[in-house]
Structure 1
């Protein structure tokens, strides 16, 4: 049948919005901010704690999606005299606005992370801060935690400094615009260096065995007041920008480990059985994986546009499950300090407007770099942060997954029985007739079962839609 672009129609939109409201209730998602929290946020926005160091002469810029206004990071990139590079990375200083133990702080601990629904955003902090005074918007002078990381000519870290400073971003850029300017040679050097430094850092990632999965992201987009799923293939600029954040997170982890007090993002190495299963999957997909080739290098050689490679990359995500937060103090550094995908110690510290733990990591790093004592309010919260973040992350992941399922079911409700082109991207262990298929038009990922004794992993398949129920957010296919 002819391909056509699908959207949630006007008739389906009201039930979908009702289902999203029900989902927020089921997950106990916070609603409006209490009056005392809003009042404290308004006072803090008007009178933040201002740092002594003035770095407003540094021409910072941000790189974010075009519609983003909660801007956590701004950067400036430069060549150093004698070789190498200097990365200046400003992170929104949420602690300049939040009083420990106050209503605003307590509400942030209740929310933990910003939650994203198709019809609204549930922010970690009131928007007067997260989209206003504390956001690194262009032309706005505000407090920040300013990282200065000096790299050698090969992109290796030589020196790290972190301090509070007043900053002012000069420009708000987006990924597509940055990519175009770099590709056509019109980018000014601070922006053009994002590619140079990003590529060097990607090579350092390869050297240490780090893993970056280039898998298209499934997202829900709004067009003309309606919602539809889409696949977004990351641009090279996305990866280069991510390398600056990774660089900072690795520097933060090293500072905290050296000081003996901190909170890390950790991930154990996948067990041998999981890697063995992945090798069997590679064999089934006819992907050549020589025994001498490291897993990380194989992943980088794959093209997600090819069905077999896309299926294998989907399977690779199973090795990245089990990440958590590890807190320590008093010099009692834990046995596990590394994140297996980063292949180095790593910490979340670059998104404090949207993630609770980053405010604490920034504070710990400022103290470590200055050789000062850690504030008591940080130490008091440290032991409980891993559990808080685990619960908040689970809720955020559930929101993301169920929102996509709801929109998919609403899109397809009237098309049960129709046939689509798909690719089998996963087959369930022990049940070879059950798995997951990915459609490109519409952009759907869903369960498939029945009709065959074994699903052809990594192969194209015609599938029939057998179920699409917005009430249960369930979509299911069978081989046609």
Structure 2
């Protein structure tokens, strides 16, 4: 599921720092790396297993937030007739990590990198994730090189994944790339990123897929008061994401053809979920015409509009229930990711997500026509899906706790105030309890009434609890 990140425009206030530490204790979020893991990482950084193929001739660049150092992906796009060739280099973690070594065992405990306003909890030691394995500029690195042929409509037609040495020419950030694209001064490769990205977005809309442009929440302090603002993703962030999705779909097709792999799957959403989202849209004053699909509705949202940004954040529930489906010697009965409307696999973030090391190895082996390594086959069916599902639960709980903490802190001084809202959900067991969404500020909280709550109706509610420590917001129906 896409994660909603919270940032602070200034330093994180001490009251929030204390609560963040409590969240980490409650969820048993890993702390620092044990000394033996750090020692193993330092040794691995000096002795990676390097491939013979040298593709340092390709002018790769990375595009990430300015402060990112764990650079998983580097890209270069060129024209090929009336289509395109996409080169996508993915950090080769397996060049540094041996199955069963201290780094591997610790990564299996963590599953994925966790993010909070005050710190990042990495999957791998920084000596690797922000150093020797990261695709930093002007450094030769081992990578899994994806070469994908894309036709004039944006459809991928051929794919090869192989190990190669690569070299990024520059560490770029989204804002600077967007500025260059808007000014017409971007490199040809980046101009083609925009071209291919737009084609892929159109194909996504045509197949009914959903890729949420999740806005970041930013806490802004002014005059001693806090407010919550949404930062809309830049267009280039969506185009860059489309290259990752293209690669994940290509990987899934390789696995389906080879009858071995680990897919990211999601069942179709149910009517109750649509009902809640329609009520949330009503609470935020956003029309959702009858008969309009999820995909069409979401593609019509503008993340620069605050109410639309809040709606996009609410739509992350569409991705709940996603899991990992491993298979060997056949294909799964339900291989599709319902939100993508396609088969899909996680392969592009091995520095930050454990499963990508396994899926990358599978795709390299399938493209080379060799057997998938034994260490992959031995753990892919049961262990890795279970690790990822558990780490996803922790990551989602971590995200929800942080968002709830911030929202409770922002309205803590407004207990007793009244708000306009819409009842978006009602408890099946007790219809006097449910969930209300208020538009200003755009927050959600528990609500109780003396009679059954009017689902989907506009209401007036009083804030009766906003506890930052308990991360709880509660309203009473007036």
Q: What is the TM-score normalised by the length of structure 1? A: 0.86
2:36: which partner in 1? 36
Are 2:423 and 2:455, in contact at CA under 8 Å, matched by a contact in 1?
no
1:48: which partner in 2? 48
| 1:67 and 2:75 correspond | no
For 1:432 and 1:363, the matched residues in 2 are separated by 52
Deviation at 1:417, TM superposition (A): 3.5
| 1:397 and 2:406 correspond | no
Q: Secondary structure at the match of 2:250?
A: helix
For 2:9 and 2:68, the matched residues in 1 are separated by 24
1:476: which partner in 2? 474
Query: 1:393-449 CA deviation, whole Å, 9 max, x = no partner?
Result: 1011111111222233344434434567x76483436648742335566x7544455
Are 1:267 and 1:324, in contact at CA under 8 Å, matched by a contact in 2?
yes
Q: Secondary structure at the match of 1:70?
A: coil
For 1:164 and 1:467, the matched residues in 2 are separated by 55
Q: Secondary structure at the match of 2:399?
A: helix
**Unaligned ranges ≥5, structure 2:** 1-6
The worse-fitting range, judged by mean Cα deviation, of 367-376 and 411-420 is: 411-420
For 1:90 and 1:475, the matched residues in 2 are separated by 44
Are 1:201 and 1:243, in contact at CA under 8 Å, matched by a contact in 2?
yes
For 2:274 and 2:463, the matched residues in 1 are separated by 33
Q: Aligned runs of 1:269-284 on 2, under 5 Å?
A: 269-271=268-270
Are 2:265 and 2:344, in contact at CA under 8 Å, matched by a contact in 1?
yes
Q: Aligned runs of 1:6-405 on 2, under 5 Å?
A: 13-80=13-80, 82-214=81-213, 216-218=215-217, 229-271=228-270, 287=287, 289=289, 291=291, 294-303=293-302, 316-329=315-328, 331-383=329-381, 384-405=383-404
Deviation at 1:473, TM superposition (A): 1.4
2:4: which partner in 1? none
Deviation at 1:242, TM superposition (A): 0.9
Q: What is the TM-score normalised by the length of structure 2? A: 0.87
The worse-fitting range, judged by mean Cα deviation, of 278-287 and 57-66 is: 278-287
Are 2:112 and 2:391, in contact at CA under 8 Å, matched by a contact in 1?
yes
Are 1:409 and 1:468, in contact at CA under 8 Å, matched by a contact in 2?
yes
Distance of aligned partners of 1:334 and 1:129 in 2 relative to their CA distance in 1, 3 Å threshold: same
Deviation at 1:207, TM superposition (A): 2.1
Are 2:9 and 2:218, in contact at CA under 8 Å, matched by a contact in 1?
no
Query: 1:300-334 CA deviation, whole Å, 9 max, x = no partner?
Result: 234456788677656654443211000111x2211
Q: Secondary structure at the match of 1:170?
A: strand
For 2:307 and 2:410, the matched residues in 1 are separated by 27
RMSD over aligned Cα, in angstroms?
3.4
Q: Aligned runs of 1:413-432 on 2, under 5 Å?
A: 413-418=412-417, 424=422, 426-428=424-426, 431=431
The worse-fitting range, judged by mean Cα deviation, of 95-104 and 184-193 is: 184-193
For 1:415 and 1:59, the matched residues in 2 are separated by 54
Distance of aligned partners of 1:243 and 1:352 in 2 relative to their CA distance in 1, 3 Å threshold: same
Deviation at 1:269, TM superposition (A): 1.9
Distance of aligned partners of 1:99 and 1:85 in 2 relative to their CA distance in 1, 3 Å threshold: same
The worse-fitting range, judged by mean Cα deviation, of 394-403 and 242-251 is: 394-403
Q: Aligned runs of 1:441-460 on 2, under 5 Å?
A: 444-450=443-449
Query: 1:318-359 CA deviation, whole Å, 9 max, x = no partner?
Result: 443211000111x22110111011111100011111110001
| Matched pairs, number | 466
For 1:21 and 1:315, the matched residues in 2 are separated by 26
For 1:261 and 1:76, the matched residues in 2 are separated by 29
Distance of aligned partners of 1:56 and 1:270 in 2 relative to their CA distance in 1, 3 Å threshold: same
Distance of aligned partners of 1:156 and 1:233 in 2 relative to their CA distance in 1, 3 Å threshold: same
Q: Secondary structure at the match of 2:326?
A: strand
Are 1:418 and 1:465, in contact at CA under 8 Å, matched by a contact in 2?
yes
